[in-house]
Amino acid sequence: MFTGQQIAFIGGGNMTEALVSGLLKTGQVAPAQIIATDIRPERLEYLARSFSIRVSSDNARAVSGAHMIVLSVEPQILDEVLRGLTPSLDPDVLIVSVAAGYPLSRLNRVLARTGRSVRAMPNTPSIVGRGATALALSPDLSPQDIARATALFESVGSVTVVEERLMDAVTGLSGSGPAYVFLIIEALADGGVKAGLPRPVAAALAAQTVLGAATMVLETGLHPAELKDRVASPGGTTIAGLHALEQGGLRAALMSAVEAAAERSTELGCEPPSR
């Protein structure tokens, strides 16, 4: 898939670390095929030491000769980063952007090019190989381009291809969703402590409960409502707890959280270029 190809990661943060680790663990590339950039010398030192990859503080130098470029920087600074890359880009390079809310049309406009680009929204569980990534594809990608982009993110979890118009909704759900789940785990653990459990026990039970419930949804294929009903026996403890959650507005709060994050993703894509 990546034989003889060079991959440049612009931005050396957590997502770059996850993807580099995934590619190396799955044996798809050798360390010498990867270069990563960052403005922080200590981060570059960490990546080089941890993965034996090449590192640089010079974005333009890093992308020269690359077959795939992964843009892993904040959307607020991506315009500036792209303008610095333009003189060094090979016209046939495949560009993959993980910047939230940043549309392909804007990417191509800033780079003064068309096509061969992918917009991706991975999430933080990619760090532990359990990510959920959605891809939006430019129409002129080759089958090999699509296969390479898919393989990149399958190295850290599952991949779904969606129309680009749905990417802001993806951002609000799976992109931001881990934070919502962390909050739920914390709240469940706090409830356990309130009921008398030691905090380490409560935290472990809460996390494993969420993991187990999610696995049941994925592996059984059953609707979450059906699985919920299987737990809630008539007049029992679970239905009493569910009633309390409904009174507290948990369902509406989570729906509003997804909607708010999706709206912010749209705003980020519409903000004027950085100066």
> Which segments are annotated as binding site for NADP(+)?
10-15
What phi and psi, each to the nearest 5 degrees, are found at residue 197? -80, 145
Tokens of 260: 């708010």
Q: Answer whether 57's CB lies under 8 Å from 38's CB.
A: yes
Give how far Cα 183 sits from Cα of 9, 53, 179, Å.
31, 35, 6
* Burial of residue 175 (number of CB atoms within 10 Å: 0-12, 13-18, 19+): buried
Residues of each annotated binding site for NADPH? 59
Nearest to 42 by CA among 12, 9, 81, 78: 12
Distance CA 78, CA 266 (A): 15
Looking at residue 272, what DSSP letter applies? P
Task: Spell out the residues 6+ positions from residue 118 whose beta carbon is closer than 8 angstroms to its own.
Answer: 94, 95, 96, 97, 135, 136, 137, 138, 141, 145, 149
Beta strands, E only, the chain: 7-10, 34-37, 54-56, 68-71, 94-97, 117-121, 131-137, 157-161
Nearest to 98 by CA among 175, 20, 21, 2: 175
Tokens of 223: 């609707």
Tokens of 121: 């929204």
Residues of each annotated binding site? 10-15, 59
Q: Answer whether 70's CB lies under 8 Å from 62's CB.
A: no
